[in-house]
Amino acid sequence: MHPILAHRAKLALYLAAWLALALLLAALTMLAGNLSGREAFVFVVPLMLLYAFVCLSTWYLCRAFAVERSGLVQLFSVHVLAALSSAGLWLFLGKMWAETLARFPWFNGLNARFPQNVALLAGAAILLFWLMTVVHYLFIAFENTRNIEKSLLQLQLLAREAELQNLKAQIHPHFLFNSLHSLSALTTIDAIAAREMCLRLSEFLRKSLAMKADTRIPLAEELKLLENYLAIERVRFGMRLQVEKHVDAETERCLVPALLLQPLMENAVNHGIAHLLEGGVIVLDAQKRAERLEIVLTNSCDPDRPPSRGEGMGLQNVSKRLATLYGSNAAIVWEDLAEYFHVKMVLPCGHV
Amino acid sequence: MSSEKSLQKIRALVIDDEELARKLVREYLAAHEEIEIVAECTNGFEAVKAITELQPDLIFLDVQMPKLNGFEVLELVEPRPAVIFTTAYDEYALRAFAVHAVDYLLKPFSAERFAEALQHAQNLLGREPVAPFTELATAARGSNSPLERILIRVGTEVRVIPVGKIDYFEAQDDYVAIKALGQTHLKSVALAELERNLDARRFVRIHRSYLVNLERIAKIELYAKDSRRVVLNDGTQLPVSRAGYSRLQALI
């Protein structure tokens, strides 16, 4: 719906402006000499108020033919045609109105004198229509800037939120505390392994802390981060945690949002492997198809695992993040196949 | 401590799915001669089996484990040993308190803190606090969400039955018979306790002795003057009391 029609106050203001124009045109027709003051007023004002509504239709045209998306010739011909047809329609209505008024004694012969006013009315109609077109374009441009500002703000907000959530996910207190507990055990059992784990943990923390929500890194780097994470989890889970990777060489240079896979891998470990007595396997596939990066993550899981509250959160976050960064150019779907959990993600492969 | 008591060692069980965590407890316990580790378990099923067979005095219990969590393990064993929880999650502390745990060790913990917990355990041993089912079940699943699965122990075996697979519960003396997938399982619990812990929109107490899964009801029929019964999808007929009928009406 037209924004003016949707608000009573705006509509009143708009009609008041048109009333002023109507009075002006009435005065002009009177001055042109072939209508009396009363005739000009009664004939022109209602007609102009009617035209006020006709001119609102240009809003739909302006939206359909945005300046930045349409050619000059196209714009010109569309608006000339629109102005001519609406002016024509209006003049036809004017003629009917003149015929109607002419039936009353006060307006005797108005219909006969109508043709003499056609040039003035037609000129006014076309010019006013174009004026309204320009006003609408300006209005749309203004709205667009406002929307862009708004979505920019929203994007920044989302990015902040994602950053925070990522940070929280990375330095997941349970992950950290469990790892430190394993580390504490390792110190007396295998000092070298303990040091190795210290280094892995430090590197993982340092790298994830450095990442921002809008940082994009080559897939190869993201995989290295994951490897650090998995190495730490392997100390905890031992042989229960098996990971297979099938990564196409040409995907390694694709740019992906930093830490995109991290929450998915955490899900696979915490909601998949952690519930399996004998452990299980996580399979990561990365392929490039027609300039798109396709990543599939599958993990074995226990079909009878208790429902957990946090389970969908990571996925929802990744989904939101993809939507914010890529709009409809990226997608993520997941499926719970009882014995397996399956996540598939497609996103544009931007190169370094 | 009397010399007689020191001769009898405290029999302890270490339950944790992470090997290093178990090794750490073993290492810390090495300094305490009065404690003997009788077994280590890596998951909830093993834990239930070991507790039932070995009857330890004290268990070190992780919360997050495959199959059964620590609280679910406690629900299934009788008599219940003294419990020291060991976990990285601080949010279970209140629940641990509710099930009368001796102590709650947050990973990573020091040898000193561990010794303190042991001291508590030694002081308390012999006095056996028993938490009722409701408290255990509530602790096992978290505060206000309804019970999602029923745990049953047969000897040393554990069965996990998701509540959606259950047709109805029938009170039988001190037990409740659970009818699910054509089988009957017995659990030592009061029907009222189950009713309180299950989702009230899914399970209806249609009779003093019957708690039925609403989804299984095929029809409600009048079979004598003022007497009604429900017929389940598999043809089973169950009596409906007057109060049960009004509860049913409120839900359908």
Q: Select the residue of B19, B107, B162 nearest A178 (Cβ to Cβ).
A: B107
Of A173, A274, A307, the CB nearest to B148: A307
A236 contacts on B by Cβ (under 8 Å): 18, 20
Residue B64 is classified by DSSP as S
Q: What is the model's pLDDT at position A169?
A: 56
- Residue tagged 């429900």 (tokens): B230
CB atoms within 10 A of CB A34: 15
Q: What single-letter DSSP state applies at residue B90?
A: G
**Residue-level pLDDT at A168:** 56
Strand order in the sheet with B237-240: B217-224, B227-232, B237-240
Measured between alpha carbons, how far is A196 from A239 in angstroms, rounded to an integer? 18
Residues B121-169 pLDDT 10s: 988 876 555 555 656 666 666 656 788 888 898 888 888 898 999 999 9
Partner residue opposite B160 with nearest CB, options A183, A238, A304: A304
This model of the complex carries an ipTM of 0.75
Confidence of residue B6 (pLDDT cuts 50, 70, 90): very low
Judged by a CB distance cut-off of 8 A, whether residue A34 touches chain B is no
Q: Collect contacts of A118-122 with beta carbons under 8 A, ≥24 apart.
A: A118/A91, A120/A25, A120/A28, A120/A29, A120/A32, A121/A25, A121/A29, A121/A90, A121/A91, A121/A94, A122/A87, A122/A91
Tell if the CB–CB gap between B64 and A274 is shorter than 8 Å.
Answer: yes
Mean residue pLDDT of chain B comes to: 87
HSE, CB side, 13 Å, CA atoms: give it for residue B67: 21
Do B68 and B48 meet the contact criterion of CB atoms below 8 Å apart?
Answer: yes
Contacts of A184 in chain B (CB under 8 A): 24, 108
CB contact (8 A) between residue A186 and residue B160: no
Specify the length of chain A in residues. 352
> Residue A162's pLDDT is what?
65
- In angstroms, rounded to a whole number, what is the distance separating the alpha carbons of residues B105 and B24? 13
Q: How confident is the model at residue B5 (pLDDT cuts 50, 70, 90)?
A: very low
- Distance (Å) from the alpha carbon of A300 to chain B's nearest alpha carbon: 13
Q: Is A41 on the interface with B (CB under 8 A)?
A: no
Closest CA to B153 of B2, B7, B52, B26: B52
Flag if A274 and B45 touch (Cβ within 8 Å). no
Instruction: Pick left, alpha or beta for residue B66 (phi over 0 → left; psi -120 to 50 → alpha; otherwise beta).
Output: beta
Which string of DSSP letters, residue by residue, matches A234-250? HHHHGGGEEEEEEE-GG
Scanning every residue of chain A, which has its alpha carbon at the shortest distance from the alpha carbon of B141?
A: A306
- Under an 8 A CB cutoff, do A185 and B107 touch? no
- Three-class DSSP labels, A129-153: HHHHHHHHHHHHHHHHHHHHHHHHH
CB-nearest to A185 from B17, B23, B66 is B23
Is B21's CB within 8 Å of A181's CB?
Answer: yes
Q: B12 phi and psi, to 5 degrees?
A: -120, 155
> DSSP string of B117-144?
HHHHHHHHTT------HHHHHHHHH-SS
pLDDT tens string B186-217 = 998 889 888 988 998 999 999 999 999 999 99
Provide the total of helices (H) and of strands (E) in chain B, helices listed first. Answer: 9, 15
Out of B20, B24, B162, closest to residue A235 by CB: B20
Token pair, residue B167, equals 């047709």
Encode chain A (352 residues) as per-residue pLDDT tens digits.
777 788 888 889 888 988 998 888 888 888 877 778 788 888 888 888 888 888 888 888 888 888 777 888 888 888 889 889 988 998 898 888 888 888 888 877 777 777 777 888 888 888 988 998 898 889 888 988 998 888 888 877 777 776 666 655 555 778 889 999 999 999 999 999 999 999 999 988 888 777 776 788 999 999 998 999 999 999 889 899 999 999 999 999 999 988 889 889 988 998 899 889 888 999 999 999 988 999 999 999 988 777 666 667 778 888 888 887 888 899 999 998 889 999 999 999 987 6
C-beta separation of B76 from B68 below 8 A: yes
Name the token pair of A88. Answer: 């024509």
Residue in B closest to A193 by C-alpha:
B20
B3 pLDDT band, cuts 50/70/90, is: very low
How far does B22 lie from chain A, in Å, by closest CA? 9
Note whether B88 contacts A173, CB cutoff 8 Å. yes
For the segment B8-50, what is each residue's pLDDT rounded down to a tens digit?
789 999 999 999 999 999 999 999 999 999 999 999 999 999 9
Q: Directed axis angle between helix A110-170 and helix A191-210, to 10°?
A: 160
Residue of chain B whose alpha carbon sits nearest to that of A305:
B67
- High-pLDDT (> 90) share of chain B, %: 55
What's the pLDDT at A163? 64
Partner-chain contact A181 B107, CB within 8 Å: yes
Rg (C-alpha) for chain A, rounded Å, is 35
* pLDDT score of A43: 84
Residue-wise burial string across A279-301, b where 16 or more C-beta atoms lie within 10 A, e elsewhere: bbbbbbbbebeeeebbbebbbbb
- Spell out the residues 6+ positions from residue A35 whose beta carbon is closer than 8 angstroms to its own: A29, A43, A110, A113, A117
Look-up: residue for tokens 């007689």?
Answer: B4
Measured in angstroms, the CA of A192 and the nearest CA of chain B are apart by 15
CA distance A53 to A142: 22
Asked if B43's CB is within 8 angstroms of A184's CB, the reply is no
The DSSP H or E segment spanning B106 is: strand B103-106
